[in-house]
Amino acid sequence: MSNGDFQALVPRELVNKSNLRQNHYSISLINEGLRTRLLHRQEAYLIQTELVLIVQELIRRYTRGDSSSVAVETAERLFTSMLYALDMQMRSYERPEVALTALKSQDTRNLYKTGVERVRQCFEETRLLYYEIRRTKLDVPVDAYNTTIDESLPALLLSINTALCLTRITRWRVSTTLSQSMTYRYTAFYI
């Protein structure tokens, strides 16, 4: 029996869900995978490298290929957006262990793309909810209520749509995090 076979027989601890963070779920999942040895250091490194390459591609799209550098804040926003989409996909799995297996066995870029699609669907639902709110809007003289529905929400909706369509950005500085889509969704429900 080789050393590798012996290691495979060692029982592995399952993921402790309390160690998984709501914010940056995928990163905490990778850390938890390393702790429980469900993920090898080399596998984690490869996933991280893939994530950096995705951000690199987002930066290229953001600058339309005209600039090789961006402000740290912009890189952070794009990174957070990317992680948000990946988190959407990772959370969709039944159990964290299954999500880890997907991270190990599937192309990280594809997982990210599927996550973006999930965010897009969520955005579409949000958009429909907004139209419903507009349709049923009360005729009351309350500034905060009217401004939120008539001005703030459409502006937010537009900025999220822009973030979702990075390839179609017309102004460099128009960008936002995808995480705002959830904020918007909650806001829509709240109203």
Where do contacts with another protein occur on this chain (CB under 8 A)?
24, 27, 45, 48-49, 51-52, 56, 59, 63, 66-76, 79, 172-173
User: Considering beta carbons, is residue 21 or 118 the nearer one to another protein?
Assistant: 21
Residue nearer to another protein on the CB measure, 73 or 143: 73
Nearer CB in complex with another protein: 44/149: 44
Tokens of 191: 């109203």
Contact 122, 185 (CB under 8 A): yes
How many residues are there in the chain? Answer: 191
Helix axes 108-135, 153-164, angle to 10 degrees: 160
Q: How far is the CB of 169 from another protein (least distance, A)?
A: 12
Sign (positive/negative) of CA torsion 175, 176, 178, 182?
Answer: negative
CB of 46 to another protein, least distance (A): 11
Q: Cβ 71 to another protein, closest distance in Å? A: 6
**How many CB atoms are closer than 10 A to CB 33?**
23
Residue with Cβ nearer another protein (77 or 120): 77
Give the Cα separation of 131 and 99 in Å (integer). 35
Least distance CB 9 / another protein (angstroms): 32
Closest distance between another protein and the C-beta of residue 75, in Å?
5
Measured from the Cβ of residue 4, the count of other Cβ atoms closer than 10 Å reads 7
The one-letter amino acid at 153: L
Residue closer to another protein, measured from CB, 67 or 110: 67
CA distance 163 to 142: 31
